[in-house]
């Protein structure tokens, strides 16, 4: 129970500091935050906080349906980003794009929590930018590399 109290304290502090709406936890004790119109879920498993960003099902289905090669682009991005990112990219069963990040108990402080959420939102926005730019795979690879090097 102490860990849940720590998680709640981090979430409430984050929401107060950034004036972010908080949706009460669901039956699985997952808290939902709305950051830049992106749904962020935070929950506790063992001694880790998991933070997940889910890009809306309808938007991602439209995005992925527009071009079958977008699945390939998502996986290319995941592979290239894996060197410098601690976020994991996945495609949900419903066609949604999911990014998740783990925050170990040793990092349960507000600055680390803020950085984890910020980097997850930025990673999702980068991924969506990659998918929305062009169908030229080489251009996508260059854009991904540039974004990973902080050139954007």
> Mean of the per-residue pLDDT values for the chain?
75
Which are the contacts of 59, defined by CB distance < 8 A and separation ≥ 6? none
Q: Give residue 148's pLDDT.
A: 45
5: how many CB neighbours lie within 10 A of its CB? 9
3-state helix vs strand vs coil in the chain, percent to 5:
50, 25, 25
* DSSP strand pairing (97-104 vs 48-55): antiparallel
pLDDT tens-digit map of 101-146? 999 888 889 999 999 998 888 888 877 777 664 333 334 344 444 4
Largest pairwise CA distance in the chain: 50
**Radius of gyration (C-alpha) of the chain in whole angstroms:** 16
């Amino acid at each position: 129970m102490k860990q849940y109290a720590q998680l709640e304290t981090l979430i409430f502090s984050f929401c107060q500091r950034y004036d972010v709406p908080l949706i009460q936890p669901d039956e699985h004790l997952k808290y939902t935050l709305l950051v830049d119109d992106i749904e962020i879920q935070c929950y506790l498993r063992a001694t880790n906080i998991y933070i997940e960003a889910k890009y809306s099902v309808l938007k991602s289905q439209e995005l992925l349906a527009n071009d079958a090669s977008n699945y390939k682009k998502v996986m290319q991005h995941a592979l290239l980003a894996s060197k410098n990112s601690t976020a994991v990219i996945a495609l949900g069963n419903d066609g949604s794009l999911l990014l998740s990040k783990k925050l170990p108990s040793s990092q349960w402080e507000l600055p680390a929590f803020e950085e984890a959420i910020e980097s997850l939102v930025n990673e999702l926005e980068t991924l969506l930018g990659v998918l929305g730019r062009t169908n030229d795979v080489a251009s996508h690879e260059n854009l991904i590399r540039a974004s990973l090097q902080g050139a954007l």
